[in-house]
Amino acid sequence: MDHEQAFELLPGYIDEELSLSEALEFERHLAGCELCTQAYEQQRQVSARLREADMRVDAPPELVRRIRAALPVRRSLWQRLGERFGGLTVFGGAFGGAGSGNGGAKALGWAPLGAMVVSLVALTWSAGLYLTTPSGDTRLTEELVDSHVRSLQFDHLYDVISTDRHTVKPWFDGKIDFAPPVVDLAQQGYPLVGGRLDYLNGRSVAVMVYRYKLHPINLYVWPGNDAGATPHIYERQGYHLAHWSAAGMNYWAVTDAGDAELDGFITGLRAHSAS
């Protein structure tokens, strides 16, 4: 073991994190190396002083109370979080959080375009799919929009980042008690970018994250048959949501992209699942 190698292992020796053979080799080197001996003494003393100084401070009782009181009632806290980060419908936040290096200027440029798409679509494309909000679903759609927005704000869009469905699908194994269908829609213009676990409607759900251009699409999936096979499209706070059930799974897609884009996504997804 040369000096450089030994020096690297020095912290591990202090912390007793070396294997026995490493520790023995290190000791052999230490015995004949002044530099290492000096560094060893310094580091050991620093470690001891930090531990002696007792620099831990317990959580203040008010924080304990605050968290305890807050936990079961999640919505009010989410709202509080929304306030903290300055509003729930921030396009800049969405892009800044989702893409790396997309500046605020770019994000601003998209907002009017998004609005245009929405109004254009609302005018010309109201045939088959219509905007309804049955009261029973209202709470859930709110929760979904919150969840979607938070996933962007917290920069926690995905737990597993991969464009490969053979990576994303196995990632869910053992984390949830069902196997969400994961498909690749890159050819249709909706590349898969990752997946994550989320907590929704009182249960753990799988979320596959796709992208249409710069717009993230969160696809929430959990077992059940709450809706028909025909997707219902909702609009809420400028976001578009779609809800349908297929093959024993409930699907919710949420995005800030226009509903035509969302419809294209759903069509691609359903065609893929059917094949």
Partner 1 sequence: MADPIIAKRFEALLLPHMNSAFNVARWLTRNDQDAQDVVQEAYLRAFRYFGGFRGEDARAWLLSIVRNTFYTWHQQNRDHAADTTEFEEEMHSLEEIGAAGQDDSPEAALIRSQSQKRVHKALRSLRLEFREVVVLRELEDLSYKEIAAIVGIPMGTVMSRLGRGRQQLAALLAPTDQEA
Angle subtended at Cα 243 by Cα 242 and Cα 247, rounded to the nearest 5 degrees: 130
Among 19, 32, 34, 60, binds partner 1 (CB under 8 A): 60
Smallest distance from partner 1 to CB 146, Å: 11
* Token pair recorded at residue 59: 């959580």
d(CA 26, CA 1): 7
Residue pair 233/240 in contact (Cβ under 8 Å)? The answer is yes
Pick the closer one to partner 1 by CB: 194 or 258.
194
Binding to partner 1 by residue 27, rule CB under 8 A? no
- Scanning 127-135, 203-211, 231-239, 265-273 for contacts with partner 1 by CB under 8 A, the matching segment is 203-211
Smallest distance from partner 1 to CB 42, Å: 4
Binding to partner 1 by residue 83, rule CB under 8 A? no
- Scanning 48-56, 107-115, 240-248, 267-275 for contacts with partner 1 by CB under 8 A, the matching segment is 48-56
Smallest distance from partner 1 to CB 195, Å: 11
* Token pair recorded at residue 262: 């969302």
d(CA 275, CA 270): 9
Smallest distance from partner 1 to CB 38, Å: 10
Among 1, 33, 82, 85, binds partner 1 (CB under 8 A): 85
Euclidean distance between the first and the last CA atom of the chain, given in angstroms as a whole number: 60
* Token pair recorded at residue 92: 């800049």
Pick the closer one to partner 1 by CB: 84 or 213.
84
- Scanning 24-32, 69-77, 236-244, 257-265 for contacts with partner 1 by CB under 8 A, the matching segment is 69-77
Among 1, 23, 25, 43, binds partner 1 (CB under 8 A): 43
Among 81, 111, 117, 214, binds partner 1 (CB under 8 A): 81
Residues found near partner 1 in the complex (CB under 8 A): 7-12, 15, 17, 39, 42-43, 45-47, 49-51, 53-60, 63-64, 66-68, 70-75, 77-78, 81, 84-85, 154-156, 159, 174-176, 197-199, 202-205
